[in-house]
């Protein structure tokens, strides 16, 4: 038995030694791990809002009807923790000061004026013949606390309207296309009249004014050239209207209708039916044309157009016993230089109108 007891005690001592050694080995690792953990950063408390100091003043008439200490005590209760009641109605100026003025403006009418900081004065009147004594003080204290709390609310700064966006180059160009314009068109014109075999060339002009995309024009021209009966000279003047369709800022199509009256002289022949003059007569034509215009530089455009017209007053010519008729289709083609002077676009007005019409 003695041997067993000794063996048991020996095993217990060895176990205690092993546990102690294990604790010694693990303890430094635990301490190091705890040291490696980041320490929580101290959270700064939010800044306390500065309390508003309420300064109450009563007029002489109000002081006779109301018990000021009782009114001040009731007001202090109504304000609670939102404001601090000043002991006196005077003191240094500041943004966190509420000024209260109580006045008796009638036998049963009390006026309360409140202003916090630099805000506008708020005024309220309480009229009731039954408000006397402590009841009146309570009503005034409640109304004053409500007015102070209302003025203590943060002022909402109105949002500043964003600055209008300046118009883009494309918007300015689109507006300028609708702007008023004065046009001067100098052309080299060729004309062909199949019925008389006449081929004529000469200069022509076009003076116009454009508004809302529609142009009104004064036109004129002088043409001369050979014909089947000899030669002819054609001088004309008239009016026209046009419309332009923009493809790009530098390319557009123009459609025009014209009506002209003409003075005609023939050479080497005689006009049939004329009594006083054998060589001169008058005629007229009306028709339309289509042109393509390309902007070389502002305001210069190069134009190329063509179109038919109808001779409105035909006439006959006799030469060498043969007769020719000047009638039917009058075909013309033009090549010219157009000066298109548009009115300037007012960018500020365009911006104020929402980038619409100038």
Average pLDDT value over all residues in the chain:
81
> Do the domain assignments include residue 45?
no
Other C-beta atoms closer than 10 Å to the C-beta of 194 total 12
- Please check whether residues 251 and 281 belong to one and the same domain: yes
Number of domains comprising the chain: 2
- Please check whether residues 60 and 122 belong to one and the same domain: yes
- Please check whether residues 95 and 176 belong to one and the same domain: no
User: Quick check: 118 pLDDT over 90?
Assistant: no
User: Quick check: 236 pLDDT over 90?
Assistant: yes
- Please check whether residues 223 and 332 belong to one and the same domain: yes
- Please check whether residues 321 and 206 belong to one and the same domain: yes
User: Quick check: 319 pLDDT over 60?
Assistant: yes
- Please check whether residues 143 and 175 belong to one and the same domain: no
The CATH number of whichever domain residue 335 belongs to comes to 2.40.160.20
326 forms bridges with which residues in the sheet?
A: 315
What pLDDT does residue 46 have? Answer: 46
CA distance 266 to 229: 8
Q: Tell me the pTM.
A: 0.55
Among 125, 114, 118, 45, which residue's Cα sits nearest to residue 79? 114
> Do the domain assignments include residue 161?
no
Give me the long-range contacts of 243-247 (CB less than 8 A, separation at least 24): 243/213, 243/214, 243/215, 244/210, 244/213, 244/215, 244/293, 246/177
- Please check whether residues 276 and 148 belong to one and the same domain: no
Could you list the residue range(s) of the whole structural domain that residue 107 is in? Answer: 52-152
- Please check whether residues 121 and 180 belong to one and the same domain: no
> Do the domain assignments include residue 284?
yes
In the chain, DSSP finds a helix count (H) and a strand count (E) of 6, 16
What pLDDT does residue 13 have? Answer: 59
- Please check whether residues 123 and 233 belong to one and the same domain: no
> Do the domain assignments include residue 313?
yes
Most confident of 17-21, 112-116, 156-160: 112-116
User: Quick check: 74 pLDDT over 50?
Assistant: yes
- Please check whether residues 178 and 230 belong to one and the same domain: yes
CA distance 335 to 20: 114
* pLDDT interval class at 2 (50, 70, 90): very low
pLDDT in tens, 122-131: 888 887 655 6
The CATH number of whichever domain residue 68 belongs to comes to 3.30.160
- Please check whether residues 140 and 187 belong to one and the same domain: no
CA distance 173 to 271: 53
Cα dihedral across residues 104, 105, 111, 113: positive or negative? negative
- Please check whether residues 280 and 334 belong to one and the same domain: yes
**Residue that is last in its domain, among 152, 187, 218:** 152
> Do the domain assignments include residue 242?
yes
């Amino acid at each position: 038995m003695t041997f067993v007891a000794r063996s048991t005690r020996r095993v217990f001592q060895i176990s205690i030694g092993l546990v102690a050694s294990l604790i010694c080995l693990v303890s430094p690792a635990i301490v190091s791990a705890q040291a490696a953990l980041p320490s929580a950063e101290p959270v700064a408390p939010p800044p306390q809002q500065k309390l508003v100091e309420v300064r109450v003043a009563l007029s002489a008439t109000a002081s006779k009807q109301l018990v000021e200490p009782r009114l001040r005590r009731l007001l202090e209760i109504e304000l609670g923790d939102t404001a601090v009641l000043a002991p006196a109605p005077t003191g240094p100026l500041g943004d966190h000061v509420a000024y209260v003025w109580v006045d008796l403006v009638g036998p049963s009418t009390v006026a309360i004026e409140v202003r916090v900081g630099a805000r506008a004065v708020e005024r309220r009147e309480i009229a009731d013949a039954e408000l006397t004594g402590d009841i009146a003080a309570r009503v005034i204290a409640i109304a004053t606390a409500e007015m102070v709390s209302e003025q203590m609310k943060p002022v909402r700064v109105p949002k500043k309207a964003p600055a209008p966006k300046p118009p883009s180059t494309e918007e300015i160009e689109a507006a300028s296309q609708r702007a008023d314009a004065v046009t001067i068109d100098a052309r080299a014109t060729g004309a062909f009249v199949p019925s008389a075999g006449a081929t004529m060339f000469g200069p022509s002009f076009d003076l116009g004014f454009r508004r809302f995309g529609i142009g009104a024009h004064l036109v004129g021209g002088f043409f001369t050239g050979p014909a089947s009966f000899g030669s002819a000279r054609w001088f004309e003047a008239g009016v026209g209207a046009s419309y332009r369709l923009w493809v790009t800022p530098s390319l557009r199509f123009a459609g025009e209708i014209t009506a002209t009256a003409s003075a005609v002289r023939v050479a080497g022949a005689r006009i049939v039916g004329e009594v006083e003059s054998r060589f001169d007569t008058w005629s007229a034509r009306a028709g339309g044309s289509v042109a393509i215009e390309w902007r070389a530089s502002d305001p210069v455009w190069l134009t190329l157009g063509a179109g038919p017209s109808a001779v409105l007053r035909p006439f006959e010519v006799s030469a060498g016993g043969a007769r020719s008729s000047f009638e039917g289709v009058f075909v013309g083609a033009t090549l010219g230089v157009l000066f298109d002077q548009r009115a300037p676009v007012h960018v500020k007005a365009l911006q104020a109108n929402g980038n619409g019409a100038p």
